[in-house]
């Protein structure tokens, strides 16, 4: 049994805890959040300790893995502390806000001999995974053109509004479309040059970005991401990959059989999704993979080095958007 401590009991903390409940060989033994009420809402059993102080949890709780679901600017601080105490670490994406911090996290994991992985969950979505596999086995020929979309309303629910502070979140280029950067790089090749446009944080609580990636193999990728949609809008993610022998496309708003409408604080929410059972649910699948790699001493599917490559692409896109010039990696 792999014992897990979870720090950060917000949206992703709740999502991860739900995933661990489906994994037979994982047990969440401790949760930690500055707001005790958030932690208490997650815990259903007295077997799970509740903490509001990380150092106290480190001293008192028994666990093998720290799952970091904190705001991005806090990732390195807590991940490194846990690694130096001999704990394996699973960290939500993006790995960090700077390449320097990200490399320190990767090097600390190596030095301390612990497992480390980052939550680039898009690789575990069946539609994205299947498309990549069909190009990998040659059925679609050589990929030439990739388009991705990831659009939503501004995330108002963030703790202390940290998404609004781009020095803490990096905006949608670093926080949102980094999902697509990782998927593209992992499956279709490394990036040579980046050109991007965005509002650069000039419009309060709205942002939209368009990023063009030229891959080293000659393929072109067009990545769109948005926090500019009206509150309560349905989240949209889509892709189109064109190869020399065929084309694959997906749009969750066209292909999701379940439609859920709710009203939260007077705001109408429309959610469309395709339910995936048990451990095949993407967030559960990525966590199950990491638990297996810890238990069986295997390399993680998503490595820290790969997370750095996605971050480097995002930071290059930020620079390009601010300067109006392409950036070569």
Taking residues 75-84, report their average pLDDT: 98
The pLDDT of residue 12: 94
- What's the pLDDT score for residue 71? 96
Tens-place pLDDT, residues 98-111: 999 999 999 999 99
* pLDDT, mean of residues 80-84: 98
CA-nearest of 103, 112, 76 to 92 is 76
Query: Which pLDDT value is given to residue 272?
Result: 62
pLDDT of residue 43: 85
The rounded distance, in Å, linking the Cα atoms of 124 and 286 is 7
Q: Give the span between the Cα atoms of 281 and 178, in whole angstroms.
A: 20
Average pLDDT over residues 142-147: 97
Check: CB of residue 319 under 8 Å from CB of residue 327: yes
**Per DSSP, what are the bridge partners of residue 197?**
210
What is the structure's pLDDT at 263?
72
Please tell me whether residue 72 adopts helix, strand or coil conformation: helix
Lowest-confidence segment of 57-66, 190-199, 204-213, 221-230 by average pLDDT: 204-213
Q: What is the pLDDT of residue 278?
A: 77
Tokens of 51: 């903490």
CB burial of 252-276 (b: ≥16 within 10 Å; e: otherwise) equals beeeeeeeeeeeeeeeebeebeeee
pLDDT at position 131, please?
Answer: 95
Q: List, for residues 178-219, the tens digit of each pLDDT value.
A: 999 999 999 999 999 999 999 988 877 889 999 999 999 999
Mean pLDDT on 11-17: 94
Q: How confident is the model at residue 157 (pLDDT cuts 50, 70, 90)?
A: confident
In this prediction, residues 13-40 reach a mean pLDDT of: 94
Calculate what percentage of the chain has a pLDDT beyond 90: 80
Q: Which residues lie below 8 Å from residue 323, measured CB to CB, with a gap of 6+? A: none
Confidence check: pLDDT of 44 > 80: no
Query: 242-298 pLDDT, tens per residue?
Result: 999 999 999 998 876 666 667 766 766 767 666 677 788 999 999 999 999 999 999
Strand partners, 208: 226
Position 103 scores a pLDDT of: 98
Q: Which helix (H) or strand (E) holds 271?
A: strand 267-273
* The length of the chain, given as a count of residues: 329
Strands 88-92 and 65-68: parallel
Q: CA-to-CA distance for 16 and 147, rounded, in angstroms?
A: 29
Q: What is the mean pLDDT of the chain?
A: 93
**Is residue 73 predicted with pLDDT exceeding 90?**
yes
Residue 254 has a pLDDT of 85
Residue 51, pLDDT above cutoff 80 = yes
Q: What is the pLDDT of residue 159?
A: 76
Question: Could you tell me if 98 and 71 are in contact, meaning their C-beta atoms sit under 8 angstroms apart?
Answer: no
Angle between helices 282-295 and 11-20 (to 10 degrees): 60
């Amino acid at each position: 049994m792999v014992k897990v401590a979870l720090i950060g009991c917000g949206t992703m903390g709740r999502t991860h805890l739900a995933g661990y409940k489906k994994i037979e060989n994982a047990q969440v033994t401790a949760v930690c959040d500055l707001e005790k009420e958030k932690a208490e809402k997650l815990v259903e059993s007295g077997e799970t300790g509740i903490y509001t102080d990380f150092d106290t949890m480190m001293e008192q709780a028994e666990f093998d893995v720290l799952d970091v679901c904190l705001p991005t600017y806090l990732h390195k601080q807590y991940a490194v502390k846990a690694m130096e105490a001999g704990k394996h670490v699973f960290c939500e994406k993006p790995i960090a806000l700077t390449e320097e911090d990200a490399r320190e996290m990767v090097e600390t994991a190596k030095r301390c001999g612990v497992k480390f992985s980052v939550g680039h969950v898009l690789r575990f979505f069946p539609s994205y995974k299947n498309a990549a596999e069909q190009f990998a086995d040659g059925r679609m020929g050589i990929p030439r053109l990739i388009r991705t979309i990831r659009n939503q309303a501004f995330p108002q629910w963030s703790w202390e509004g940290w998404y609004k502070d781009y020095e803490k979140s990096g905006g949608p280029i670093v926080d949102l479309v980094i999902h697509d950067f990782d998927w593209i790089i992992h499956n279709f090749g490394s990036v040579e040059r980046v050109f991007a446009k965005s509002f650069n944080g000039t419009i309060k609580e709205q942002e939209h970005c368009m990023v063009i990636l030229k891959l080293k193999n000659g393929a072109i990728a067009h990545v769109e991401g948005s926090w500019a949609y009206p509150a309560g809008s349905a989240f949209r993610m889509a892709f189109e990959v064109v190869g020399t022998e065929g084309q694959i496309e997906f749009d969750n708003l066209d292909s999701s059989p379940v439609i859920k409408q709710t009203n939260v604080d007077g705001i109408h929410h429309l959610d469309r999704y395709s339910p995936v059972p048990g451990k095949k649910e993407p967030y559960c699948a990525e966590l199950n993979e990491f638990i297996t790699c810890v238990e069986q001493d295997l390399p993680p599917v998503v490595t820290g080095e790969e997370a750095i490559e996605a971050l480097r692409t995002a930071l290059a896109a930020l620079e390009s958007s601010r300067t109006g010039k392409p950036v070569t990696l």
